[in-house]
Amino acid sequence: MDRVRAKSVFPALYSLPFLLAAGLSILMLATDKNLQTGFGMVSSGYYAHWYAVLAMGIADIAGASLLIVLRSRTAVKLGIVGSAVLTVALLGAILTYQQLGFASAMDMANYLFGVTYYGGDIRYLYDALLATDIGTVVIGTVGLAMTRDTRTPSGPKDEGKATSS
């Protein structure tokens, strides 16, 4: 595949991890009762973290849409930045441990990303979402490097020089 075609195809392919992340978010929203109720603290509506995951899923869908529609390096760069922000937000959820009644940030991190099963339906979903977000940053960065324009900038022309034969 030539570089010109790769430049237009890569953004569309790069949208796939965003769609995977959105799918994981939807699965979490639909199945995680702890996320929906804040471990039983909310009896009507949904808990604030549920809305945060909803916003992350919407951001992933918006990112995938932009990549498919624009098919540009700028869209890929925005995707990398967006995935990095979502990764930080997902890891930042650990700092909200007190809102959910955990004794420490480490307990919250273990709940979200650890191997200890706390009940509920989220086992490995947060791990998969975090891995997808990190992978999306890496894939985008590598893809940008691989589709970079390698032409050398043209220097000053030798217009005033005469050639002698």
Decide if 151 is inside a domain: no
Decide if 25 is inside a domain: yes
pLDDT at 43: 85
Decide if 74 is inside a domain: yes
Q: What share of the chain is helix, strand, coil (3-state, %, to 5)?
A: 70, 0, 30
Range of the domain at 48: 3-146
Decide if 92 is inside a domain: yes
**Mean pLDDT per segment of 10 residues, for the chain of length 165 residues?**
71 97 95 87 89 97 97 96 97 92 90 72 84 98 88 58 54
pLDDT at 160: 53
Please name which of 72, 73, 81 lies closest in space to residue 144, comparing C-alpha atoms.
73
Decide if 163 is inside a domain: no
Decide if 123 is inside a domain: yes
- The number of folded domains in the chain is 1
Contact 57, 65 (CB under 8 A): no
pLDDT at 34: 86
Cα dihedral 87, 75, 54, 115 sign: negative
pLDDT at 151: 63
Decide if 154 is inside a domain: no
Decide if 34 is inside a domain: yes
pLDDT at 74: 95
Q: What is the pTM assigned to this prediction?
A: 0.83
